[in-house]
Every structure is written in structure tokens, then in C-alpha cells.
Amino acid sequence: MTEFSLPIPFITQMEGILGNQYTAFENALMLPSKRSIRVHPHKFPKALSLQQVPWNKQGYWLDEAATVTYDPLFHAGAYYVQEASSMFIAQLLEACIQDKEELIVLDLCAAPGGKSTLICDVLNEKHLLVSNEVIKTRVHILDENLLKWGYNNVIVTHNDPADFERLGTFFDIIVVDAPCSGEGMFRKDHDAVNEWDQAHVDMCCCRQKRILSDVWKSLKPGGILIYSTCTFNKKEDEENMRWMQVEHQAEGIELTIPAFEGIETCIDNGITSFRFYPHRVSGEGFFASAIRKPENAEWNDHSGKREKWNKDRKVQQKQIIPELAKTILTKVDSYVFLHKEEYRSFSEIFKPALEQISMCLKIFRAGTPLGILKGKDFLPDSAVAMSIHLNKELFPSIELSYEEAIKYLSKEEFVLEQESKGWNLMCYQGIPLGWIKAMPNRFNNYFPPEWRIRNKWNGESIRFMISE
């Protein structure tokens, strides 16, 4: 048990919220956090012999400490390390989607990618995800995690919430996992305890209102906004939802969600919210709710504001597409386009949406990078190796041992006993890691240098998350 001092105003706040449950709550904060993962439903579909997170069928709690750095399956995008409580967003999203087709969903505050990869698993191929990160330094890790997760119907953007007004009323669903005071992370992050005070809470609340107000303008009439924080105080949670009711005429939603033991369901002014407390669930503090924009709300068309954003952001088309670029993915509803020197694949049905977004926003990446043409040779991208739509039959595959996989991922030299001339798909436990190109006397490792394992493995036995 770890002991640390909680701020007196925080204690007073939580005693007011929890009453006679406060002591149990404080004791729970002193216990170690339980680590959890969410496995990829396509890359790792089999069940694990671990305790399952009740509100997410791909979520599992780990029974002991484990590593990700030296687990090849983590680098292959076979699972994501994610706090269990936040996986509940999938329940809200599924309840909001129901049988709707051709949805456009925005994950506004997306880095490092936990909720975006979660959203990808819930959406189908007729749904588009726009995954946005405001902070420039965090966009790269967001993009890396989404590329490894391997879905084609994703656009990664880098914009302020206010920028989305340029699109007009565009999104069917918006997910806002808002930056907050982080009270729910106190036992995982003791620095958050030291940073906490009422002024910080007030500042977070003001920022959250600005974010909600800015992005609300890009939500379609009848569209749904899912709001979440990892904090306990009502000022950043229920009161923000109430403020949206008054300020923007937001409506509550009747959500059909199974009852899960320990999750507190609250209804305030017709708005249903869900609260997670560490003394009641095996997870950290979390708040989630959903509100609807009135059906009779005004539709806004900001097409007149797009022209100045049109330069260098239009998707460039090229008539001659390399044959391998056309066939490397099995998706038949995708089209291939050229972005600078890189060929990419994107869902055909969302081509108009991509063109509209490209005129209004800063796009970091759209669709799946396929590769580049170097002379007459097509060089496949590492991202396409990890795509769930990769046409594996086009390439010989090499099953790597654990030691070989680590050396490949570290870009260290090693010897392969057998490889076919040309492009070979490197796999571990049947899951693709990336490419090599075999020459007569050697091979070139095409795993991206920026993704490599930087710390050298010392050969010690390691317990992994899900590797056999």
C-alpha cells in the first residue's frame, strides 16, 4: 500500500460527493492500480486467460506486472495498453450508433490514441473517424498508434477546436475526452495530486466550456456529443453538461446500456451520466455522458470560408497507379490517390468528406499509406503491413522467433535462414510486423527507424502481455 497526502479541499469535496463512502474511496486510492489492456478484435481475436473487463469484450486486467517494450505483439498493434474505466466509451458509442450508416465521427482530443483505436473497433467500414490532436508534439504518437491499429477509414488532423467551425455542421458524433484536473488519476500519478488546487479546477472548467462550445458548431442537428473526463468534481462534469443545456439547448438522451456492477448511473435534468470510483470498480476515476443537438437546430454552411484553406490541401490525383498499389489491400471500396510522392488508400464513400476536410483543416494523414515508387520498384509502407486489409497472399511471409523479432524491431543485424528474393513480410505469431527486401547476399530492414525499440534487450526472461 502506498500512502500520500490528499489536499484538504479535495477531501472536503469528495466527502460532500460520497458521504459515508469516503473512507473506502480514500483507502482505494492508496492501493496499486490494476493495469489493463484491450486486444485488437481482428489481429488477436481469441480469448485470453485473464480477467475480462465487463464493459468491454476486448478488455482484460493483468494479473501481474508485464512489459510492452519487448513484446513484439505490442509493436504489431495486437493490443493497446488502456485504462479499464475509459473503455466504457465503447458502450456509449454503440448505444448512440445503433443501426446508423455512413456516420462521420470526430475524436477531438485524441492523443495518444487509446480512445481513437477503441472507436475504430466500434465503427464499421461505412463509418469515418476523424482523429484530432491539438498539441503538435503529440500528433506523431497518435498517428503511429492508429497506423499500427490498421484501419483504413481514418483521417488524422491537427487543429484547434475552433477550427472545426469551418466545416459547418459536419459530424454525426463527436467524442470529447476533455483535458481536466486529473483527480481520477491520483493513485497512478502522484504529480497530479501536487498540481491540484481549486484554481486549477476552475481553469480546467473554463477550458472545457470553450472546447465544448467551439466544437458544438460542427455537430449536425440531431447529432450526439459524448463527453468524458478522468476527474470526480461535478464542476468539470455534470455542471458542464448542465451549462450545455442552458447555453446551447443540448438535450439528454435515453441510453440503452447494460447495468454493470460498481458503475454509478446518474440522471441530472434529463442527462444520463456514468461515474467510476476506484473503491467500486477495478479502474481509475472516470466520468462519461452524452448529449444531443436539437433536431431543429440551424444547419451552418461555411463553404465561403474554405477557399483560403484550399491551397496545398486538395487530394492530388494521378491517372497511373502502380499495380501493386491497387492490389496490396483487399478492400474493394477503396480508391488510391497520390499524396506528394506517397500512394495512399482511402474509403471511396468518404472521398467527398476528405475533399471537404482538406479544404478546411490541417490534415496530418488520411487513409492508409501504401508505399512509394522508386524507379520501377514499388516500396511498400510499414503501415500497410499492419493494415487489417493487407493482401498477405501477394508476399512470402517469414515467421520470426522471439529473438529475431526483437532484433528486427530494434533494427539490429541478424541472419535469416530462408527468405525469398524481393519483398518479404515479417511476422510474429502470425501477425505482421513489417517488411524486409531480400538481396542475393543480404536483406534490408524496412522497419521505420522512428518506431524502433531503442533500449537494448539484455536477453532476460520477460513476462509479456499476451505473447505465448
Q: Which residues are catalytic?
A: 230
Helix (H) or strand (E) holding 206: helix 198-216
Contact 183, 318 (CB under 8 A): no
Comparing C-alpha atoms, which of 272, 262, 220, 218 is closest to residue 241? 272
Q: How far apart are CA 454 and CA 313, in angstroms?
A: 34
Question: In 345-418, where does DSSP find H-type helix?
Answer: 351-360, 382-385, 402-410
* Helix 22-29 vs helix 8-18: crossing angle, to nearest 10: 130
Contact 103, 127 (CB under 8 A): yes
* Those residues with Cβ within 8 angstroms of residue 438's Cβ, 6 or more apart along the chain or in another chain: 419, 420, 421, 422, 423, 424
Q: How far apart are CA 431 and CA 417, in angstroms?
A: 20
CA distances (Å), origin 286, targets 15, 184, 194, 337, 442: 17, 6, 19, 41, 52
Q: Side-chain half-sphere of 14: how many Cα atoms within 13 Å?
A: 22
Q: How far apart are CA 251 and CA 241, in angstroms?
A: 10
What pairing do the DSSP bridges indicate for beta strands 59-61 and 79-81?
A: unpaired
Beta-sheet strands, E only, within 10-87: 36-39, 51-52, 59-61, 79-81
Phi, psi of 169 (to 5 degrees): -80, 105
Place of cell 454552411: 301
Q: How far apart are CA 139 and CA 115, in angstroms?
A: 14
Contact 391, 424 (CB under 8 A): no
Give the dihedral sign, CA 135/141/143/146: negative
Contact 193, 4 (CB under 8 A): yes
Q: How far apart are CA 418 and CA 401, in angstroms?
A: 13
